[in-house]
Each structure stands twice: as structure tokens, then as C-alpha cells.
Amino acid sequence: MKILHYLLLALLFTSCQAVRVQTDYQNETDFTNYATYNYYDDMKTGLGDLEEKRLIKVLDAAMRNKGLLLSEEPDFLINIQSKMYQAANGNSVGLGVGGGGRNVGGGLSVGIPITSSKVQREIIFDFVDSQKGELFWQAISVSSFNENLSPTEREDKLVEIVDRVLSKYPPKTK
């Protein structure tokens, strides 16, 4: 019985998803050359107007904390894209019935989902050299999305996303 309790507890902790971030960058990039930034004028984020304003406000604050300044003549431009999708439900309980004997066998298996599918939001941050027009750093964040959050809770979620994304900028050299 104790094993079942531990198993359920482990399942609960693993089903709560935090923000996942993947980054990629050009290996030869000298990140010390980038001190100022701005956003693409024609950026189509895929976010609603209010959510886009929140994200830019949060990103600007985090960039200032990293010592990067918003500028009209920036060293690099930021492009943001996002999309939402239904995450595949990987949690199910399998029931099976089988029998056999005398060289005859049969079976039946049914998977029963134990949770509903979740809405995921992917936000892509592209940092593009403003002189060369080349992408030099990219981060892709994936996190759960709840449309019923209050504006304050939405901003808190964006702070968590941006903090995780920028924790990987500039990349640590080995």
C-alpha cells in the first residue's frame, strides 16, 4: 500500500510541468559585442495585444538586469513568435484481459486516460545581429498555459518564462 502512495506522489510531481527551455547559438559568436537591442517593427508574436505588452515589459526589465539597453540603433534585434497546442496525453491506465490454453489464446487491452489534455504554449525568442541580419541566438520555451489566469498571474508566468530563457543568455563557454 505504501508503494502505491509513493507512486501516486511521484506521478503528481512529474505531471506538474515547469517551463522547459532549449537554446541554440552560433558557436563563433562573441556575445560581448551585443550591448543594445530593440524589437522587429513588424513582429507578429501570435500573442494577444495585452499579453504581448506584458511580455515585452517583462523582457525589457530582464534585459536591463543583464546590462542590455533598449536602443534606437541596436546591436541586435529580437523577434518573438508563439503558438499554442494541445499536448498529447501520456497518462493512462491499461486494463487487460487474456486467456489461453491448448494452443489457443486471446486478449483484450484498453487504455483509459487519467488526466485531460493540457494546452501548451511555445514561445520562440530569436536574437538577430542588426548589421549582418543573421540569427546568432535562439531560445524556445514550452510551458503549460491556462487561459483563466488573472492579468497578474499571467505576468508572473511570463516572468518565470523570461527568467528561464535569459538564464541561458549569454551561453556559458566550456
5 band by pLDDT with thresholds 50, 70 and 90:
very low
Burial class (CB in 10 A: 0-12, 13-18, 19+), 161: buried
Is the pLDDT at 90 greater than 80? The verdict is no
| Arithmetic mean of pLDDT, 111-123 | 74
87 band by pLDDT with thresholds 50, 70 and 90:
confident
Residue 118: what pLDDT? 83
Neighbours of 127 (CB within 10 A): 22
Residue 165: what pLDDT? 97
When the pLDDT of each residue in the chain is averaged and rounded to a whole number, the result is 84
DSSP 3-state of 86: strand
DSSP 3-state of 136: strand
11 band by pLDDT with thresholds 50, 70 and 90:
very low
Cα separation, 101 vs 120, in Å, equals: 47
Helix residue ranges, H only, 23-150:
49-65
What is the per-residue pLDDT across 32-86, written as a single tens digit (0 to 9) for each? 999 999 999 999 999 999 999 999 999 999 999 999 999 999 999 999 999 998 8
- Domains of the chain, start order: 19-166 (3.30.160.670)
1 band by pLDDT with thresholds 50, 70 and 90:
low
Residue 10: what pLDDT? 44
Residue 4: what pLDDT? 44
